[in-house]
């Protein structure tokens, strides 16, 4: 289940004077700032980036530097991207929950 | 002279100083970096549009950062700088590079690998929950995105980075719940004589610790994590302080946990380039062989910085320059041998500092043995510690590639980066052998995931990329 | 020096040697198996994992049928299912000529129980809509499938151990001779094994032992290029191959797609690595054949060392020079499915001197010039190497 209604994981502490970027997360509109990575954009709204293929457990990244590969997300059209190293773009339509075909138990 | 095509992989402190030395000798290296802006991790620059001072970003290191970034800027016209370039393969003088969704090949006659490091971690119950990040990751969130990984963050692990990131968070206005050090005060006291040789580092360490204490942030030593509290995200962490299970229990309320146990070298390209590796006891890791100047076992390949063995940002700058000088020496060009010798001497002193830091903040080797069977070891594939132990016992697997084949540990997207060290520790314990005997995970290309469409001309259109699509294009 | 006296000694702990050990133990024959590295870690452990009858030459039909029956009770044989599934194997044609070739193959193998079904483009659209545009049809074998070689091959050795075989790993046989009374194998100064019969199951390294007994063969090493994707939503409902070769693909239960095609390069006599020369081609072929995978990521390339014979049939059968010596090697990239049957045949030969399965086409002395030409012409139709196991 998606949890975009849950409080965010990340907290903005600095450099918030940047232009807004509107995107869509799990079908709901959201706003990030220009220069945010997808990870920042999502986790300043919600508490997960994805659910694992095997147990369905929620994940929200780990290393923030493109090594752990735990922050892969997908767009509604199926495109896959690494959230910590991809910048949020206007109109991006992101999904944080597992596609029902994803789970392999 | 035959055509010389030097290529540097990595634009952190090692790569930048290497580029600088090559340019000074009249060469024009290609500099490939995965990031969009130079600086590596410790001197990472925020994306364009962020207006933050050097002091805010880099604290004590802001002058070094400014100097390094300034150097890189000044080099731009003299180098072929290609940011956003992920090198995923290296074979016989050719690099395969993913850039803008397409593959580029880059030929080299000489290769300087300055590929840096990531945090070294061990698993514990709940470490995969949203809200748990590495210390480096927590630092990147703050430095690169102006975000804290939580509102109330606990910091755990050991090493200078532990105190530094906690300090940076507190200074940035985050609530720091606690700093939980796995090392003991006795470890740190034992390191005091060694720290005399690195007074600047020692002073910074004492300063940050003192500052944290002064601001009412509890510091604990001799800590082991018990588990993270939380169902689908962090709401606290439980630790034990002191030896064994009778140690005092600490219950820290927090909504994020940043942890790490030092760093681990990103050695994949060196491995794929065919470099010989050997085991280093202090690092508890297999690292590419290099001579004092940074030459690898493969002719024309040079190694500099944390990517060949953790030594810190200052050592990386020295090693980058020294490796470049080695490259120039090998070309038969005139090199300032006094400078080369001086660099080597400084690097040797850095080695001593490293030994001291390891003594002060030792890797908690007992941690692996005390893990419960149901703790997730490989986070990509969700394989537990118990599965690995069972395979070691039932299948008699004593070698890490065998364990990987049988249990899937290390078969995930991260290719063993996050679980490799832990898997080796657990396997060694389970088999009753010394750590070097279990070997190291064999590296193959791609050293990071690459998309299937990489060689198919343009990036795929929407229909082609739809994983849910059941129809033809 | 440790000396072991036994009935049967086996060089090589891949799926062939290990299954031979298991079957010998089932016959109550004392067995010592010597493996240079770890059992099932070479070609037997890093191959594609295809468990397939379709596409094999006629000469292999009895062998592959027998193997199919053995695979039918894998848990009974080795105590684990090794992720074996009968997903069906779909061999695709890119041209009408290739499709005709598949038809010919189907006709010529009728009677061997493969139940091959010819599918035209419309049938592919209906049953396998996830295939790319450029295939015109295919031949579907419903009960062929695939398994995880990393689990299955070591499991044969473990089963042999449990059945009482003496299995020694990290033991490299330096010399193998017959001293007039029995076979004597030496591994350095540490170990000597004496046996009445000897099975040469040393894979890509077997020719050395064949030559030592005066019957060298033109065995070469091939290095199939392999790759695997990240875990993905399941969509491949059959294991794939292509008439003429070039690519083969399957999707495992956990969602990773395992894909092979082309060649890697040798890194040493014992190891191979994926070579960049053919990586681009394999990725392009994958994107074309499986459009669903275009945005998916490859997380590993690898290769292996596989013994190959010029006519793509193994050497399987008794020595022509030395009674009591039996060979089984050179499976040419297609040894995984038939491996257990080869092991069973070896056990039969070693214990009784006979086997019911016709193996004359695999005799070691067929490489005299005329015999080789004759053998090459029995390769069915395509003249392409059998690529996948």
Q: From the list A11, A55, A77, which residue is nearest B466 (CB)? A: A77
Residues of B in contact with A9 (CB under 8 A): 130-131, 149-150, 233, 255-256
Q: How many helices (H) and strands (E) does chain B have?
A: 16, 24
Query: The domain containing residue B377 runs over which residues?
Result: 366-438
Q: Give the count of beta carbons closer than 10 Å to the beta carbon of residue B463.
A: 14
Main-chain phi, psi angles of C382, to 5 degrees:
-95, -25
**B249 and B146, same structural domain?**
yes
Residue keyed to tokens 């059209």: A77
Which residue of B147, B380, B449 to mutate against A (max A Cβ within 10 Å)?
B147
**B298 and B175, same structural domain?**
no
Instruction: Give C294 to chain A, closest Cα distance, Å.
Output: 9
> Which ipTM value was assigned to this complex?
0.94
> Do the strands B132-134 and B147-148 form a parallel or antiparallel pair, or are they unpaired?
unpaired
Sequential DSSP letters for B314-342: HHHHHHHHHHHHHHHHHTT----HHHHHH
- B74: in domain: yes
Nearest to C149 by CA among C246, C252, C234, C219: C252
C294 at A interface, C-beta within 8 A: no
Do A62 and B256 make contact, defined as CB atoms within 8 angstroms?
A: no
What's the pTM? 0.95
Domain boundary among B325, B357, B389: B357
Instruction: Give A13 to chain B, closest Cα distance, Å.
Output: 5
Kindly give the residue spans of alpha helices, DSSP state H, lying in B331-439: 337-360, 366-369, 385-394, 400-407, 420-431
**B339 and B270, same structural domain?**
yes
- Number of domains observed in the structure of chain A: 1
Q: Give the count of beta carbons closer than 10 Å to the beta carbon of residue B186.
A: 10
Task: Determine the pLDDT at residue C388.
Answer: 55
C233 at A interface, C-beta within 8 A: yes
- A103: in domain: no
Domain boundary among B222, B241, B261: B261
**B127 and B113, same structural domain?**
no
C:180-209 residues touching chain B, CB 8 A cutoff: none
- Residue A64 is part of a domain; what is its CATH number? 3.10.20.440
Q: Is the dihedral of CA A9, A10, A12, A13 positive or negative?
A: positive
Mean pLDDT of all residues in C157-184: 98
Alpha-carbon separation of residue C319 from A105, B58, C47 (angstroms): 50, 74, 27
- B447: in domain: no
C230 at B interface, C-beta within 8 A: yes
b/e string for C59-68 if b means 16 or more Cβ within 10 A?
Answer: bbbbbbbbbb
Tokens describing residue C240: 């794939």
Query: Rounded to an integer, what distance in angstroms lies between the CA atom of residue B221 and that of residue B178?
Result: 11
- B445: in domain: no
Mean pLDDT of chain C: 95
Nearest to B363 by CA among B315, B435, B416, B294: B435
- A81: in domain: yes
b/e string for C110-136 if b means 16 or more Cβ within 10 A?
Answer: eebebebeebeeeebeebbebbbeebb
C158 at B interface, C-beta within 8 A: yes
C253 at A interface, C-beta within 8 A: yes
Instruction: Give B118 to chain A, closest Cα distance, Å.
Output: 7
What chain C holds in terms of domains, given with CATH numbers, is 2-49+150-219+309-377 (3.50.50.60), 89-142+224-303 (3.30.9.10)
Contact indicator for C255, C227 with CB cutoff of 8 Å: no
Nearest to B449 by CA among C288, C229, A94: C229
What pLDDT digit, counting tens, does each position of C304-329 carry?
Answer: 999 999 999 999 999 999 999 999 99
Query: Rounded to an integer, what distance in angstroms lies between the CA atom of residue B311 and that of residue B320?
Result: 12
Tokens describing residue B288: 């590419």
Ordered mean pLDDT values, 10 residues apiece, chain B (473 residues):
91 98 98 98 96 94 97 98 98 97 97 98 98 98 98 96 97 97 92 87 92 97 96 96 78 98 98 98 97 98 98 97 98 97 97 94 91 98 98 93 98 98 97 96 98 78 36 32
Contact indicator for C33, C167 with CB cutoff of 8 Å: yes
A104 at C interface, C-beta within 8 A: yes
Let me know if B181 is exposed, middle or buried by CB neighbors in 10 A (0-12, 13-18, 19+). buried
Do A15 and B414 make contact, defined as CB atoms within 8 angstroms?
A: no
**Subunit partners of chain A (3 or more CB pairs within 8 A):** B, C
Domain boundary among B357, B382, B416: B357
**B257 and B184, same structural domain?**
yes
Task: Determine the pLDDT at residue B192.
Answer: 87
- Residue B380 is part of a domain; what is its CATH number? 1.10.10.1100
- A45: in domain: yes
Contact indicator for B455, C283 with CB cutoff of 8 Å: yes
- Residue B91 is part of a domain; what is its CATH number? 3.50.50.60
**B396 and B306, same structural domain?**
no
- A60: in domain: yes
CB contacts < 8 A (A, C): 22
**B193 and B131, same structural domain?**
yes
Provide CB contacts within 8 A for C221, sequence distance 6+.
C204, C266, C272, C305, C306, C307, C308
Query: The domain containing residue A89 runs over which residues?
Result: 20-95
Which residue of A99, A104, A105 to mutate against C (max C Cβ within 10 Å)?
A104
C:128-157 residues touching chain B, CB 8 A cutoff: 129-133, 150-151, 154
Mean pLDDT of all residues in C55-65: 98
B444 at C interface, C-beta within 8 A: yes
- B463: in domain: no
B46 at A interface, C-beta within 8 A: yes
**B337 and B307, same structural domain?**
yes
Task: Determine the pLDDT at residue B243.
Answer: 65
Task: Determine the pLDDT at residue B456.
Answer: 87
- B469: in domain: no
Task: Determine the pLDDT at residue A63.
Answer: 98
What pLDDT digit, counting tens, does each position of A9-62 carry?
Answer: 999 999 999 999 999 999 999 999 999 999 999 999 999 999 999 999 999 999
Long-range contacts of B431-436 (CB under 8 A, 24+ apart): B431/B392, B431/B397, B431/B398, B433/B398, B435/B279, B435/B284, B436/B279, B436/B286
- B467: in domain: no
B469 at C interface, C-beta within 8 A: yes
Residues of B in contact with C234 (CB under 8 A): none
């Amino acid at each position: 289940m998606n949890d975009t209604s849950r409080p965010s994981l990340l907290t903005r502490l600095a450099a918030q004077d940047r232009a807004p970027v509107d995107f869509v997360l799990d079908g709901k509109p959201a706003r990030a700032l220009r220069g945010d990575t997808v990870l920042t954009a999502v986790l300043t709204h919600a508490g997960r980036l994805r659910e694992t293929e095997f147990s369905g457990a929620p994940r929200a990244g780990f290393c923030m530097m493109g090594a752990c590969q735990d922050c892969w997300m997908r767009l509604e059209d199926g495109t896959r991207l690494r959230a910590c190293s991809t910048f949020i773009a206007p109109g991006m339509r992101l999904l944080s929950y597992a596609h029902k075909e994803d789970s392999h138990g | 002279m035959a055509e010389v095509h030097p290529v540097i992989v990595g634009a952190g402190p090692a790569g930048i100083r290497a580029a600088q030395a090559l340019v000074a000798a009249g060469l024009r290296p290609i500099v490939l970096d995965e990031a969009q802006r130079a600086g590596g991790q410790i001197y990472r620059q925020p994306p364009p549009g962020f207006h933050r001072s050097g002091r805010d970003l880099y604290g004590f290191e802001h002058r070094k950062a400014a100097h390094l970034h300034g150097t890189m800027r000044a080099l731009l016209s003299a180098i072929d700088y290609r940011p956003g370039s992920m090198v995923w393969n290296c074979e016989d003088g050719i690099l395969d590079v993913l850039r803008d969704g397409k593959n580029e090949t880059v030929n080299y006659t000489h290769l300087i690998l300055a590929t840096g490091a990531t945090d070294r971690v061990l698993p514990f119950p709940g470490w995969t929950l949203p809200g748990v990040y590495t210390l480096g990751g927590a630092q990147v969130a703050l430095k690169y995105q102006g975000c804290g990984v939580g509102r109330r963050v606990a910091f755990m692990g050991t090493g200078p980075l532990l105190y530094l990131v906690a300090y940076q968070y507190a200074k940035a206005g985050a609530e720091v719940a606690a700093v939980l050090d796995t090392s003991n005060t006795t470890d740190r006291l034992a390191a005091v004589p060694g720290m005399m040789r690195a007074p600047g580092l020692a002073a910074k360490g004492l300063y940050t610790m003192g500052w944290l204490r002064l601001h009412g942030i509890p510091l604990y030593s001799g800590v082991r994590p018990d588990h993270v509290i939380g169902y689908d995200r962090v709401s606290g962490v439980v630790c034990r302080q002191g030896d064994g299970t009778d140690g005092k229990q600490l219950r820290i309320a927090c909504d994020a946990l940043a942890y790490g146990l030092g760093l681990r070298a990103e050695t994949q390209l060196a491995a794929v380039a065919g470099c010989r590796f050997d085991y280093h006891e202090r690092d508890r890791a297999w690292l590419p062989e290099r001579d004092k100047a940074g030459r690898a076992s493969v002719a024309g390949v040079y190694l500099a910085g944390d990517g060949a063995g953790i030594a810190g940002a200052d050592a990386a700058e020295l090693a980058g320059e020294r490796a470049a000088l080695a490259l120039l020496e090998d070309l038969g060009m005139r090199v300032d041998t006094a400078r080369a010798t001086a660099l080597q001497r400084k690097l040797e002193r850095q080695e001593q500092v490293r030994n001291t830091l390891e003594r002060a903040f030792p890797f908690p080797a007992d941690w692996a043995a005390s893990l419960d069977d149901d703790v997730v070891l490989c986070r990509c594939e969700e394989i537990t510690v118990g599965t690995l132990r069972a395979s070691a016992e039932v299948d008699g697997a004593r070698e890490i590639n065998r364990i990987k084949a049988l249990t899937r540990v290390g078969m995930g997207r991260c290719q063993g980066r996050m679980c490799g060290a832990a898997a080796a520790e657990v396997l060694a314990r389970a088999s009753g052998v010394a750590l070097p005997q279990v070997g190291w995970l064999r590296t193959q290309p791609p050293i990071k995931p690459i998309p299937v469409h990489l060689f198919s001309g343009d990036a795929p259109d929407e229909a082609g990329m739809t994983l849910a699509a059941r129809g033809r294009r | 020096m440790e000396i072991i006296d036994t009935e049967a000694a086996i060089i090589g702990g891949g799926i062939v040697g290990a299954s031979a050990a298991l079957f010998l133990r089932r016959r109550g024959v004392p067995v010592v198996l010597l493996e240079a590295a770890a059992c099932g870690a070479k070609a037997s452990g890093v191959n594609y994992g295809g468990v397939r009858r379709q596409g094999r030459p006629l000469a292999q039909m009895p062998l592959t049928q027998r193997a199919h029956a053995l695979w039918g009770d894998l848990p009974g044989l080795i105590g684990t299912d090794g992720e074996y599934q009968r997903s069906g194997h779909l061999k695709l044609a890119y041209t009408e000529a290739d499709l005709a070739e598949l038809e010919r193959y189907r006709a010529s193998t009728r009677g061997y129980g493969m139940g091959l079904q010819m599918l035209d483009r419309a049938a592919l659209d209906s049953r396998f809509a996830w295939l790319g545009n450029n295939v015109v049809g295919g031949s579907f074998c419903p009960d062929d499938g695939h398994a995880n070689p990393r689990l299955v091959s070591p499991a044969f050795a473990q089963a042999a151990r449990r059945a009482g075989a003496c299995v020694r790993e990290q033991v490299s046989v330096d010399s193998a001779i017959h001293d007039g009374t029995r076979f004597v194998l030496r591994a350095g100064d540490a170990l000597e094994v004496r046996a009445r019969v000897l099975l040469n199951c040393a894979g890509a390294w077997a020719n050395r032992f064949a030559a030592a007994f005066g019957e060298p063969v033109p065995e070469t090493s091939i290095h199939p290029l392999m790759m695997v994707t990240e875990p993905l939503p399941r969509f491949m409902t059959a294991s794939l191959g292509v008439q003429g070769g070039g690519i083969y693909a399957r999707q495992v239960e956990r969602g990773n797609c395992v894909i092979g095609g082309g060649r890697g390069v040798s890194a040493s006599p014992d190891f191979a690595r994926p070579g960049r020369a053919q990586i681009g081609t394999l990725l392009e072929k994958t994107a074309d054949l499986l459009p669903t995978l275009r945005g998916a990521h490859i997380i590993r390339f690898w290769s292996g060392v596989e013994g190959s014979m010029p006519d793509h049939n193994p050497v399987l059968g008794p020595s022509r020079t030395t009674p009591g010596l039996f060979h089984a090697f050179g499976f040419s990239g297609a040894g995984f499915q038939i491996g257990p049957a080869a092991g069973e045949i070896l056990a039969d030969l070693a214990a009784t001197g006979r086997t019911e399965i016709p193996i004359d086409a695999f005799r070691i002395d067929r490489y005299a010039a005329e015999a080789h030409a004759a053998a090459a012409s029995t390769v069915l139709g395509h003249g392409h190497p059998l690529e996948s196991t």
